[in-house]
Amino acid sequence: MDTQMERTQVYLPKALKKELNQIAEYEGSNLSALLRDAGQKLVKEKLKKHRNRDKEFTRLLNDIAGIWAGRDPKEFEENRRSMDRKFPGWND
């Protein structure tokens, strides 16, 4: 973990700040430490979610790999042009 700290100003609703301070007090901590801990948990959760999404996307790509194998490339081009007409700008 990076031990260098950077001061950051965050605006919180008064009620939320009061509740966060209460939690920090119950835990024998302070608001800064509580927010750092929450931030680290959020980062881990979001990174895991994105990694899972990326794995699923890769799995789907692998499932469709070779779908046009052995087919006429002209058929692919005709289908692509058809999509261009139905959904202008879809491949920009």
Q: DSSP label at 71?
A: S
Instruction: Please give the average per-residue pLDDT across 30-43, as a whole number.
Output: 95
| Burial (CB count <10 Å: 0-12, 13-18, 19+), residue 24 | middle
Structural domain spans, the chain: 12-64
Confidence of residue 58 (pLDDT cuts 50, 70, 90): confident
Instruction: Please give the average per-residue pLDDT across 51-79, as a whole number.
Output: 82
Provide, rounded to the nearest whole percent, the portion of the chain with pLDDT above 70. Answer: 91
Question: What pLDDT shows up at residue 39?
Answer: 95
Residue 23 and residue 34: Cα distance in Å, rounded? 8
pTM score above 0.85: no
Task: Report how many helices (DSSP H) and strands (DSSP E) the chain contains, helices first.
Answer: 3, 0
Judge contact between 47 and 36, C-beta under 8 A. no
